[in-house]
Structure 1
């Protein structure tokens, strides 16, 4: 369910990227033409000309046929990619694995020579210990890491099932985490440098120009790209890369949902076409795109994101840590992994998971997320609360329903779900 909700609203990144990509061929770049002297980052272009954004989520606004057509186009493109299989995603990954680092390196080198770059690095690297006392900081950081690594969404498990049995999954996992961390670190440095530069140019404090969320890619980076030589070329290349990254991510979300449906229904492939599941999901996502095609579409994206990420993902991670650390015979699990893949698990990670520190930390993150979610829900009307809490509770309720079915089986080595709770017994886990 989480992968489905993520795929439903993550298409917005693709839609906004398509809009910026198509207009990258105009000269001058439309987001560099300021219509308001006080709007130093020209957020007005993103809010008014791309989103036609209303003041709040409760103000519907007009229907935006241009955005809706881009949503349909993006979903159809992703559906075609997923129908072709994981090989298409692999080819896309060949580009997305290297091109973002090239673009970030170009922006970083250019940014280091801008006025205010030194102050930006000093501000970024100087710790403000008082902010560490704010619980929300820790929750936001934790959820961001979960989202970047797709932890708790099922996507890494789905992709690992495509690997050969004796593939070095452990090594790939460490490389993946290191690559994601490096990309995030470079992005943070670049964002701080350019926002400090724009603040310095207009005689403002850094806090007065701070933006967050999708605005970072479509406001800060668009203005940063405009400072490069041949800005049209770099802007087109940057947003085309975002499109490829978005298709790659959508492939993971959609394939995870489709694979879960197939695994949950015994003998699914005997009476149904697996391709049909992916096509039906594409049709459902096309219907959901209407939700994000009005003037309040951006607010709806943030609402779905909040109710999807703040509670369900940490809750699933907590359940995983608890089951592996306290209900499974992890030594038998490691022995089976050694037998099947030729490599054992990381003992340090196993010791951390089986200890109580991870469980307690996730409990604290979950409690903070619940408090913030209740505070956010208090500002919404009944209909939006009903929608939001349905998104939050559906993964939890489905998990409880699945566990209540005593005869349910996992599609890995025909393991009966009841055997998970018999810790002394060895776990027969078949790796794809």
Structure 2
């Protein structure tokens, strides 16, 4: 159907990226996030050093790229956000799409706060505002964290000005970018932000390599422990890292692929995105451990005593490093500026899943959909994470939405597509129609057999651990409310939304999934 014929028949033309390059930039911007910088280096160090790169590469080839292509195929073939795409796959599958949307909503709530913190620390770097006690400054003076949720203490949402106001600014910028559309908003943020991110981080890594002690840090990171390859835990960690770092399994790549023009090379784009993401992770590991080697030498300790992950690395270890190195202000701006940019590009992709789902279901305009989807998320984020107990809520929601929610959504989606609805041949044909390489039996086996096993093991291990051990030393009611309770609420709301009829103005009735723009060429 031509574009003119589509309009004459009453169908709307779905928003789309201007071309393959725009899609690749946005997809890389989504995949390259905070986890690449603060999770991969530590996971590598803890799981065999240089030897870990072997299971990591195996995991990338056997799980990461296959499920990335699976998400692309679902979005590109069925032309919709997760609820619409899964609904078009099978009339009973809409609920899994809404579950993925719900997980994105949860993640956006706390992810925005981390972006706001990184932006503030970019400013703090100019004067090294954290002084001689980076940990005390971060948790005390800056966050004013009260340790709520432990040892019977309650939670407080008392507003913390230096946290809450930057968080409000982040949400305003985010909603404005989303409201301007796929080409002007999503694409422009990545078109500008991603090259700046890579340049800034490359300069930071180059500088880190010149620091005294950098070799010590790199030796600690990359010296291979070949015995680790015999440990099942190391292999599970490799699959977990690949899975979490590619932005797969929770609707982002499905949504983005739905904005690809029909004659696009989705399979080739998947390879570019997958390997670009892994390359940035390796670059991050080199930069982080070069700096940690310097810190260990300056402190007269071993690298394992200063190596950390997550918030401890970003807001405690690195400020300490920045205070010690020459040109400290520049290093701080480069590091925290990189964190901010990586966070913004990822955060936009996360909330776009929610916005796109609302827009598809209701037929409302993009600005209205942004208001309906984004304002509630912003309010919840500001109230819960902008308060003195925000770190507790952030920690619990993050652990359950990532380690349980994303994995559960991905597990159910691949099992349904493979064994219940038997759609792998349809998805394979969609990838092969314009792809630069063909997928076949190997890809189907990886999706239908290997991935369910890997995801099932990750899911069972994590759920079992949380049931028997609790989480993070937090009180049971805190974990039950913001962990299990949040997931249960997502499931209930997802089921309810899947029962709501699609309006006559919705994308289900106004956008033709088989539409091919007559003016486009294969890209």
Q: Fold conserved (TM > 0.5)?
A: yes
Q: Distance in 2 between matches of 1:110 and 1:276?
A: 45
| Aligned residue among 131, 138, 141 for 1:49 | 141
Map of 2:385 onto structure 1:
292
| Aligned residue among 390, 404, 420 for 1:311 | 404
Deviations 1:374-402 (A, max 9, x none): 22258423254123112223444556667
Higher relative contact order (CA 8 A, sep 6+): 2
Question: C-alpha displacement at 1:133, in angstroms?
Answer: 7.0
Question: C-alpha displacement at 1:285, in angstroms?
Answer: 2.2
Q: CA RMSD in A?
A: 3.2
Map of 2:424 onto structure 1:
330
Question: C-alpha displacement at 1:175, in angstroms?
Answer: 1.0
Map of 2:488 onto structure 1:
393
Q: TM (normalized to structure 1)?
A: 0.82
Deviations 1:50-78 (A, max 9, x none): 22223353443653122111211111111
Deviations 1:242-289 (A, max 9, x none): 3333222222122210111233x3xx22xx443222113332123212
For the Cα contact (< 8 Å) 1:131–1:137, is it kept in 2? yes
Deviations 1:333-374 (A, max 9, x none): 3334545x4666523652333552222121111111111222
Map of 1:274 onto structure 2:
366
Question: C-alpha displacement at 1:139, in angstroms?
Answer: 5.0
| Aligned residue among 261, 264, 275 for 1:178 | 275
| Aligned residue among 114, 117, 129 for 1:13 | 114
Question: C-alpha displacement at 1:206, in angstroms?
Answer: 2.4
Map of 1:79 onto structure 2:
175
Map of 1:380 onto structure 2:
475
Q: Distance in 2 between matches of 1:89 and 1:123?
A: 39
Question: C-alpha displacement at 1:301, in angstroms?
Answer: 1.0
Map of 2:132 onto structure 1:
34
Map of 2:310 onto structure 1:
213
For the Cα contact (< 8 Å) 1:143–1:314, is it kept in 2? no
| Aligned residue among 182, 199, 207 for 1:102 | 199
Instruction: Summarize the alignment of residues 30-429 of structure 1 with structure 2, pairs less than 5 Å apart.
Output: 30-31=129-130, 33-35=131-133, 42-58=134-150, 59=153, 60=155, 63-86=159-182, 87-128=184-225, 139-226=236-323, 230-263=327-360, 265=361, 268-269=362-363, 272-288=364-380, 289-327=382-420, 328-339=422-433, 341=434, 345-347=438-440, 350-374=443-467, 375-377=469-471, 379-397=474-492
Question: C-alpha displacement at 1:429, in angstroms?
Answer: 7.0
Q: Distance in 2 between matches of 1:283 and 1:317?
A: 27
Q: Structure 2 vs 1, CA of residues 297 and 274 (structure 1 numbering), >3 Å: closer, same or farther?
A: same
Q: Structure 2 vs 1, CA of residues 82 and 354 (structure 1 numbering), >3 Å: closer, same or farther?
A: closer
| Aligned residue among 125, 128, 133 for 1:24 | 125
Q: Structure 2 vs 1, CA of residues 119 and 228 (structure 1 numbering), >3 Å: closer, same or farther?
A: closer
Structure 1 unpaired stretches of 5+: 36-41, 415-427
Structure 2 unpaired stretches of 5+: 1-101, 518-523
Question: C-alpha displacement at 1:177, in angstroms?
Answer: 1.1
Q: Structure 2 vs 1, CA of residues 115 and 273 (structure 1 numbering), >3 Å: closer, same or farther?
A: closer
Q: Structure 2 vs 1, CA of residues 211 and 52 (structure 1 numbering), >3 Å: closer, same or farther?
A: farther
Deviations 1:294-349 (A, max 9, x none): 2221222111101101111111221232233333242343334545x466652365
Q: Distance in 1 between matches of 2:393 and 2:447?
A: 38
Give SS of 2:308's match: coil
Q: Distance in 1 between matches of 2:435 and 2:161?
A: 54
For the Cα contact (< 8 Å) 2:213–2:297, is it kept in 1? yes
Deviations 1:126-160 (A, max 9, x none): 34466667766555544443332111111111112
Q: Structure 2 vs 1, CA of residues 139 and 406 (structure 1 numbering), >3 Å: closer, same or farther?
A: farther
For the Cα contact (< 8 Å) 2:180–2:367, is it kept in 1? no
